[in-house]
Chains A and B, each alone.
Chain A
């Protein structure tokens, strides 16, 4: 199975900061990668699919990029509503999630 290594596991940031979260796949997944935001007690919410495509209704401050087997989620200017946990997921071969990144208020 394909493994996804997500980093960091947690970060502290302030409103307005630029935030980046990285996922590395254990083998090529082409661009079959999604990013989700999860808030406490809620189901995950799809932000990005196919590595860089923004899901409808998601603010444009969220973006995704890829370089080989490394994928990045960027929040260009962190907003109060963005403090949450973020997960990557590959869907090239079955589905595998990263371990999650908790974004906390600094």
Chain B
């Protein structure tokens, strides 16, 4: 059974960079059919796509976050990562990593990690 697990600091200082890694186990990150995404959910609110990446390095970033987002993939470690710079309190959210198989939606999700932006 494929598993995804987010890791990274739970508390980030305003204006700093939020960095998270998603480790994929029981499955390979390397397939052109897979899109590895980051989705966030502010407390009590809905889901927002931050962006996604393929193992080849092709990326999509949400236009509203594009100037602050960088994603990368490390196939040797079966991991992909998110960097969100210049964070503010508005970036406080549960951050999920997830896998989309072409045409089939987001079938696997990490458990999510709450990241709080505060001094």
Contact = CB atoms under 8 A, between A and B. Distances in A.
Nearest to A43: B109
B106 A36 contact: yes
Size bracket, chain A contacts:
20 to 34
A48 B103 CA distance: 11
Interface stretch (A17-25, A69-77, A90-98): A90-98
Given A43-B111, A43-B112, A89 B105 contact: yes
A98 to B, nearest CB: 8
Contact of B49 (A45, A49, A50, A95): A95
Contact of A49 (B103, B109, B110, B111): B103
B106 A97 contact: no
Interface in B74-110: 96, 98, 100, 103-107, 109-110
Identify whether the interface residues of B are mostly helix, strand, loop, or mixed: strand
A43 B106 CA distance: 11
A91 B112 CA distance: 21
A55 interface: yes
Interface in A29-88: 32, 34, 36, 42-46, 48-50, 53, 55, 87
10 contacts: A34-B106, A43-B96, A46-B106, A50-B105, A55-B105, A55-B107, A94-B49, A95-B52, A97-B49, A99-B46
